[in-house]
A and B are shown apart, each in its own frame.
Chain A
Amino acid sequence: MNDNSSLKAALSRRTVLKATAAAAAGAGGMVPGLQSAVWAQGSDKPEKEEVRIGFIPLTDCASVVMASVLGFDRKYGVKIVPTKETSWAGVRDKLVNGELDMAHVLYGLIYGVHLGVSGPKKDMAVLMSLNNNGQAITLSKKLADKGAVDGASLAKVMAADRRDYTFAQTFPTGTHAMWLYYWLASAGINPFKDAKVITVPPPQMVANMRVGNMDGFCVGEPWNHRAIMDGIGITAVTSQEVWKDHPEKTLGTTADFVRKYPNTCRAVIAAVLEASKWIDAGLQNKLKMAETVAAKSYINTSVDAINQRILGRYQNGLGKTWDDPNHMKFFNDGAVNFPYLSDGMWFLTQHKRWGLIKEHPDYLAVARQVNQIDLYKEAAAAAKVSVPTQVMRSSKLIDGVVWDGKDPAKYADGFKVKVG
């Protein structure tokens, strides 16, 4: 059986079905349930209907959870089973051994596994990006009392009062490690020479800072806000200040799963897209989402710890408050969810910068392999979500350096502060 030709045939049938659906929707307006009828009867029928999706208790697991809670999954003929996980290493192992079908997972982790940075090397896939923004770096209240409230003042305090400074992130190849390192480096602090970096699970960050085990950490919400509520830390910088609209969590799976169950992948992407759209649609939805994910079965925290920053209401713990237009976004008219190749490549450049990979990979080829752009486009069409025309995007990060996906090797080597 030639996989390629049968896939092509399936795709062309898809196009016909999509056209029919669009025509019907155009004639009769949005007909609830129509889409599911189309997906169910044609060749688009998900090959695997029950999909186990792992998540870590963090605010940004919301779109996966809401897709299941609000029933967007059923609309596309799948049933999402959100599965709470305790560690990123556990998520990785369960993706690799097939115990989980997909996961809410750190962008950098997927690339780390694909390149075999630690332990198993396995071809991985990014189906879509789940959110932008909404992480932060917290410094201990003790450090803040000495004047360290941002990158520059932290560098000064560290130079004046020499001792071991300990900073925590959540996973060696993950996003928080990269935001932390990038920010420290932008202030002239080499995370590997001038500081000690450790990995700590998100729910343990605040407790560890309280007993003085660390000077700073980078983690997703609600834990930075929680540190302020508990009076033990301040927000030195938000991740959106490090990189406005940065990629964060992805819907990740293995390349094997994509090959075996492409229709299931499309269905899940479409369902999560609808949930993302729903969350970003307004205040009421966000509050409802915060209430849902705060529950014991998901994040297990108070709603108060989540809803402030979800709505963009920030305080830094030193009396400053602001409305942040670049708060955590789940949809932003689809701009959040497109798996830009340049986003994936960025993590590779940072893995190289910090010595996690020894050689320059073929950045573009790896990103093309991992980020499932075609699959995403088809699912976005089904969910009527607009898709950007470019596969790369350009951003200026906190140090003023522009990243646009062109010449990644030069970009990776161009940083003054790095390993090696």
Chain B
Amino acid sequence: MAPTPASSLRIVIVAPETLNPDPSDVEAGWEAERSRSLRIGLLQGGYDVVAVLPADVFLPDRLAQIQPDMIIVDAESQARDTLEHVVVATRDARRPIVLFTDDDDTSHVKDAIAAGVTVYVVAGLAPERIKPVLDVALARFQHEEALRRELAKTRTQLQDRKLVERAKGILMKRYGCDEQQAYERLRKAAMDKGLRIAEVAQRLIDVADVIG
């Protein structure tokens, strides 16, 4: 098979432990079948499935070791909450989690994606359809991550500006200087100490709170 860009994407699948379930358990048999066809689809799509992990208490540790680019999990699994822990713990280095669900009401899936929920993908897809779905999921995730970073940056800038304004105010009041001079004092202190201006401003405000 010709190598595709997807081959660089390292995927971990979180799946029920057995591919050979109790033959009397119809539901488990169906789940195993679905899980198998999913893996086949991923391999055919050129993805690098680095591990298939059971949903146990060691999942977070193993994910931390493997550092996959994408996690695929059964939506109706109790493993969801364990993964939630991973999501919270690694908030600053997020990765997409794709969920294969039995719910074939596509409007729900669409709503979920629009709401920014981890991507839901309807289960039972033909193997050849899995790749385009994952590509869309990944593109969506990357788009959202970009927005999220942009938002975080804007928030920090706004917060920084507020701090600098307050610090300038303190300096102006204390030394009777004008705004430009106050700003220059802050900037010099920042350069001398190798800090960001906002950090110097924060320190100044903290000290001013104590001294009064």
List chain A positions with a Cβ less than 8 A from chain B: 86-90, 93, 96-99, 117-122, 166, 168, 170-173, 198-201, 203-204, 208, 213-214, 356
Contact = CB atoms under 8 A, between A and B. Distances in A.
A172 B89 CA distance: 9
27 contacts: A86-B77, A86-B78, A87-B77, A88-B80, A88-B81, A89-B83, A89-B84, A93-B120, A96-B112, A97-B115, A118-B87, A118-B88, A118-B91, A119-B87, A119-B116, A120-B115, A171-B84, A172-B85, A172-B88, A173-B88, A198-B60, A199-B81, A200-B81, A201-B78, A201-B81, A203-B78, A356-B88
A96 B109 CA distance: 12
Interface of B: 56-58, 60, 75-85, 87-89, 91, 103, 105, 108, 111-112, 115-118, 120
B57 A120 contact: no
Contacts of B118: 93, 119
A204 B78 contact: yes
Interface centre among B56, B78, B80, B84 (most CB of A within 10 A): B84
Contacts of B85: 172, 198-199
Contact of A99 (B56, B78, B87, B108): B108
Given A119-B87, A198-B85, A201-B82, A97 B77 contact: no
A214 B85 CA distance: 16
A119 B115 CA distance: 10
A296 to B, nearest CB: 14
B81 A89 contact: yes
A-B complex: 5 closest residue pairs judged by Cβ atoms? A201-B78, A199-B85, A87-B80, A89-B80, A97-B111
Contacts of B82: 198-201
Given A86-B76, A198-B60, A97 B88 contact: no
A97 B117 contact: yes
Contacts of B116: 119-121
A98 B107 CA distance: 10
Contacts of A173: 88
B112 A93 contact: yes
B155 to A, nearest CB: 10
Nearest to A90: B80
B86 to A, nearest CB: 9
A213 B81 contact: no
B117 A119 contact: yes
Contacts of A117: 88
A166 B115 CA distance: 34
A198 B57 contact: yes
B103 A99 contact: yes
Contact of A214 (B57, B75, B78, B108): B57
Nearest to A168: B57
A98 B76 contact: no
A223 to B, nearest CB: 13
A375 to B, nearest CB: 24
Contacts of A122: 115
Contacts of A170: 81
B117 A93 contact: yes
B145 to A, nearest CB: 12
A178 to B, nearest CB: 14
Contacts of B87: 118-119
Given A90-B76, A198-B57, A214-B57, A171 B81 contact: yes
A87 B57 contact: no
Given A86-B78, A172-B88, A198-B82, 12 more contacts: A88-B80, A89-B80, A89-B81, A89-B84, A96-B117, A97-B108, A118-B84, A121-B116, A171-B84, A172-B85, A201-B79, A213-B56
A127 B60 CA distance: 34
B31 to A, nearest CB: 13
A17 to B, nearest CB: 35
A121 B115 CA distance: 8
A300 to B, nearest CB: 13
A356 B88 CA distance: 8
Contacts of A97: 108, 111-112, 115, 117
Given A122-B115, A172-B84, A199-B84, A90 B75 contact: yes
Nearest to A112: B88
A88 B57 contact: no
A77 B61 CA distance: 49
